[in-house]
């Protein structure tokens, strides 16, 4: 089941999964699904198509992608489409980046009930920003929030990134209230409010049996420990301009725990990968883990099925955006964006999108450089699928 990258000698996460995932036990159904998708991505198992150059007859076979959101090979087009959609909604104001982190004392609760805990994390971060902005700015703000769960070493570290336009609507929605250019909201106040809100939400979830905690930890004791700590909410320097905001959104919205280009080697059951040491100015480092430990770390970051990890709030919330965003643009003196109804209803073919964004025609024949590669045969998916035990089974 060799992929093009593997044949070219580049190590992929899929290679590690196929070689070592059978060592793992105690996996959830979701984790097994993700491993299977990654292992099968762009292989004959998923089917594909044969293309032939209309000029010289050169042929190539391309296999289908798994489209799983945890797969390192399947994020590029979704990211590009999403960034284009966000570009239409950028405002001519300063943007701020605020990060809400969860103390380690609460990690066991999050790991036992991730769907509930992540939902409460979003709620606490959103309510904190909205409440403090209302108090300090006297305004209704809008923002985009993105959930991440990892560190550079793939350790568990749930946190929310919020990208916030610097200002908001006054209560009558007749005036834009700007924030200071170098300061949005006090992080000390944000930290205290966030701590109170998340702990309260988690306690209510415990009361209702939505979260139970692990077998070795008393969940209410964990809450008490977390309540005694200083919590970390930090604000990064404002973005330099709209293009920096877009670049950041693209990187963070569809970023996954590990990209293939960080993988260095797989030898004797040991995986070596690159990471950036944040504590020392993002200095490049190498880490080596046993393959089983490496895969288990990666699987910590598999999201609950259908969980939405990019959310919009305030005047950017999906329920009010169409009504409030034009009002914000008007108050800021910005021309109205083209109505969404003018956008094409059918998804743009990926080949056309790559050509438009990069100028590269991926259908151009790599051999003669004159003709285009046209699909001449559809290749069906195989009747035998890959599984964790490497035994054949019906897909």
Kindly state whether residues 60 and 139 are assigned to the same domain. no
Residue 294 lies in a domain: no
Task: Among 20-34, 233-247, 318-332, 335-349, name the one with the lowest average pLDDT.
Answer: 335-349
Residue 388 lies in a domain: no
Per cent of the chain over pLDDT 90 is 76
Kindly state whether residues 102 and 43 are assigned to the same domain. no
pLDDT digits (tens, 9 = 90+) for 285-333: 999 999 999 999 999 999 999 999 999 999 999 999 999 999 999 999 9
Residue 161 lies in a domain: yes
pLDDT band at 340 (very low <50, low <70, confident <90, very high): low
Kindly state whether residues 114 and 153 are assigned to the same domain. yes
Residue 57 lies in a domain: yes
Q: What is the mean pLDDT of the chain?
A: 91
Across the range 191-220, mean pLDDT stands at: 92
Question: What CA–CA distance (Å, rounded) separates 266 from 12?
Answer: 10
pLDDT band at 7 (very low <50, low <70, confident <90, very high): very low
What does the pLDDT read at residue 2?
44
Question: What CA–CA distance (Å, rounded) separates 37 from 2?
Answer: 15
In this structure, what DSSP letter does residue 318 have? T
Residue 82 lies in a domain: no
pLDDT band at 4 (very low <50, low <70, confident <90, very high): very low
Residue 390 lies in a domain: no
Closest C-alpha to 302, from 94, 115, 89: 115
* Total domains present in the chain: 2
| pTM across the whole model | 0.91
pLDDT digits (tens, 9 = 90+) for 66-120: 999 999 999 888 888 888 888 888 999 999 999 999 999 999 999 999 999 999 9
Question: What CA–CA distance (Å, rounded) separates 380 from 49?
Answer: 8
Burial class (CB in 10 A: 0-12, 13-18, 19+), 286: exposed
Pairing of strands 233-236, 95-101: antiparallel
Residue 347 lies in a domain: no
pLDDT band at 389 (very low <50, low <70, confident <90, very high): low
Contact call for residues 148 and 161 (beta carbons, < 8 A): yes
At residue 199, φ and ψ (nearest 5 deg) are -65, -40
Question: What CA–CA distance (Å, rounded) separates 80 from 26?
Answer: 36
Kindly state whether residues 114 and 52 are assigned to the same domain. no
Expressed as residue numbers, the domain containing 310 is 89-257+300-337
């Amino acid at each position: 089941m060799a992929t093009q990258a593997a044949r070219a000698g580049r190590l992929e996460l899929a290679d590690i999964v196929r070689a070592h995932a059978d060592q793992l036990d105690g996996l959830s159904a979701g984790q097994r699904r993700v491993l299977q998708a990654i292992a099968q991505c762009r292989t004959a198992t998923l089917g594909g198509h044969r293309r032939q150059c209309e000029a010289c007859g050169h042929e190539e076979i391309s296999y289908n992608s798994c489209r799983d959101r945890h797969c390192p090979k399947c994020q590029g087009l979704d990211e590009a489409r999403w960034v284009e959609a966000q570009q239409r909604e950028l405002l001519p104001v300063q943007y701020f980046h605020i990060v809400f982190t969860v103390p380690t004392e609460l990690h066991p609760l999050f790991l036992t009930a991730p769907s509930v805990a992540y939902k409460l994390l979003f709620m606490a971060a959103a309510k904190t920003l909205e409440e403090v902005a209302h108090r300090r700015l006297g305004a209704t703000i809008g923002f985009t929030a993105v959930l991440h769960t990892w560190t550079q070493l793939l350790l568990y570290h749930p946190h929310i990134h919020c990208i916030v336009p610097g200002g908001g609507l006054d209560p009558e929605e007749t005036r834009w209230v700007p924030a200071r250019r170098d300061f949005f909201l006090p992080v000390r106040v944000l930290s205290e409010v966030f701590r109170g809100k998340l702990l309260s939400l988690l306690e209510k979830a415990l009361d209702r049996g939505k979260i139970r905690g692990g077998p070795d930890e008393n969940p209410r004791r964990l809450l008490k420990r977390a309540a005694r700590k200083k919590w970390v909410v930090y604000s990064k320097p404002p973005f330099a301009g709209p293009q920096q905001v877009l670049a950041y959104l693209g990187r963070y919205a569809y970023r996954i725990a590990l990209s293939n280009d960080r993988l260095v080697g797989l030898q004797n059951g040991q995986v070596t990968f690159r990471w950036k040491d944040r504590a020392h100015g993002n200095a490049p480092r190498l880490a080596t883990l046993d393959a089983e430990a490496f895969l288990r770390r990666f699987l910590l970051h598999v999201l609950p099925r259908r969980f939405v990890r990019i959310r919009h709030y305030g005047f950017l919330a999906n329920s009010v955006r169409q009504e409030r965003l034009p009002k914000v643009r008007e108050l800021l003196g910005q021309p109205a964006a083209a109505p969404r109804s003018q956008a094409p209803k059918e998804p743009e073919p990926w080949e056309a999108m790559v050509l438009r964004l990069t100028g590269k025609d991926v259908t151009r024949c790599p051999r003669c450089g004159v003709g285009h590669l046209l699909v001449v045969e559809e290749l069906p998916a195989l009747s035998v699928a890959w599984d964790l035990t490497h035994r054949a089974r019906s897909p």
